[in-house]
Amino acid sequence: MKLYYEGRPVHGRLSTEHAASSYGQPVLVLEGGRALGPGDIPASDVIEITPEELRWIVSAQPALGGKPGARP
C-alpha cells in the first residue's frame, strides 16, 4: 500500500510479525517500522492499494459491512 502519512507518501506492507499485531490480525507496517491498524488510515490518504489490503480495511470497518476482528 502507498499512502500519505504525516504529509508525505510512504509505502507499507501487511504483516502479522510486527509486535503491534495481535492474535494473527495483520497491521500495516510503514517504512521505518511504525504500525497502523485499519482504522488508522483515512481513505483520502490512500494512494495505491491491493485487493488484499482493501479487504483488510473493509473487514475492520462495520460501516463498510465488515466485522471488527474478522480476518480479511
> Is residue 72's pLDDT more than 60?
no
> Is residue 64's pLDDT more than 70?
no
What is the DSSP-derived secondary structure letter of residue 71? -
Rounded to two decimals, the pTM is 0.80
Residue 24: predicted pLDDT: 87
Over the stretch 8-63, which tens digit does the pLDDT of each residue have? 999 999 999 999 998 888 999 999 999 999 889 888 899 999 999 998 888 877 65
Strand partners, 36: 28
Q: How far apart are CA 39 and CA 58, in angstroms?
A: 9
DSSP 7-60: TEEEEEEEESSSTT-BTTB-EEEETTS-EE-GGG--GGGEEE--HHHHHHHHHT
Residue 66: predicted pLDDT: 57
